[in-house]
Amino acid sequence: RRGLLAYLVAFVAVFVFSVAAMAKPIVIKFSHVVAVDTPKGQAANYFAKIVKERTHGQVIVKVYPNAMLYGDRAAVEAVQMGTIQMACPATAKFTGWLPEIQLFDLPFLFKNSEHLHKVMDGPVGKKVLNLFRRKGLLGLAYWDNGFKVLSNNKHPIVLPKDCKGLKFRIMSSRVLEAQFKALGASPQVLPFSEVYSALEQGVVDGCENPWSNLYTKKFYEVAPYTTETYHGYLGYVLITNAKFWDSLSPKLRTILEGCVRDATAYERKLADELTKKQRALVLKDPKVKDVVLTPEQREAWRKVLVKIYPKFYKTIGKDLIEEAIKEGN
């Protein structure tokens, strides 16, 4: 009898153990469009690393960079449908879903990074993140890239009038469209993965990017006139599928929330460092002709571009715009 009992106990133990060992990890597919050596690319990998460590392999994050899985638009749809679980598109890419988010694309809205982070991490930023639920998504965090520079392959751009007649690639955003129209240029929506060849083949003459994207995708090779306008900001919202996130056990969710917090701090610090480092690397190329604006020249850009704000009082919300401006005072 005893032998039988011991046998039974051993059998049950082995069975329970094997079932636990066989339990499949939860897989989070995380798609993004930029290179690995960017703040977003590095932080996505860092997030994957700490999630694996802290959940002891119960959750595995698989990162797909360089638009190898999806472009941003398709990625948002895939997160909505639950085909993938995470993405981190630029705010402009959400225009079709949540037009209010274009707040972050308004030129000359933020005086500097301090002002920007005050808005993101304060009541305005929270209000915008809360809107994501409306679309079955969760806005988990804001990730940085940086302020944008213009680059083109026709001539040096110093003043707004120098943009007249040029074709600029934009992300799909009404604000960015209005911005280039206000400069007398023609905006053209193109996916990020097509920018290099569009510049090379003359489909567009220029584009706007933070230094990190400009460097890692080598846009300066095909558009060597850079202008440090820093007219607008490019940053991201880390999103997940709301149902997926809500279905996680409270324990796992708490661990993942901690990973999001730490990856966000890591990402923002890196954005700052890579912007400086990668700017220097672009400027090292003898073909690059860079223009640094005087405060007076930059003021001329500001004057032209802030004129587009009233066009967006309805879609973004006049209150939201004014609240964001006030945070910088």
Cα 154 from Cα 136, distance rounded (Å): 44
CB of 223 to ligand LMR, least distance (A): 13
CB of 210 to ligand LMR, least distance (A): 7
Q: What angle do CA 274, 34, 91 make, to 5 degrees?
A: 90
Residue number, 55 or 229, with CB nearest to ligand LMR: 229
Q: Which residues contact 161 (CB under 8 A, 6 or more apart)?
A: 184
Among 53, 57, 56, 30, residue whose Cα is nearest residue 41: 30
Residue number, 90 or 237, with CB nearest to ligand LMR: 90
Among 171, 118, 121, residue whose Cα is nearest residue 141: 121
CB of 192 to ligand LMR, least distance (A): 3
Q: Are residues 180 and 164 in contact, defined by beta-carbon separation less than 8 angstroms?
A: no
CB of 299 to ligand LMR, least distance (A): 26
What do you get for the CA distance between the two ends of the chain, in Å? 82
Residue number, 34 or 325, with CB nearest to ligand LMR: 34
Q: Are residues 85 and 300 in contact, defined by beta-carbon separation less than 8 angstroms?
A: no
Helix (H/G/I), strand (E/B), else coil: 120: helix
CB of 23 to ligand LMR, least distance (A): 34
Separate counts of helices (H) and strands (E) for the chain? 13, 11
Name the residues that contact ligand LMR, by CB under 6 A.
Answer: 33-34, 90, 93, 145, 171, 192, 213, 234
Residue number, 148 or 327, with CB nearest to ligand LMR: 148
Residue number, 142 or 325, with CB nearest to ligand LMR: 142
CB of 176 to ligand LMR, least distance (A): 10
Residue number, 128 or 171, with CB nearest to ligand LMR: 171
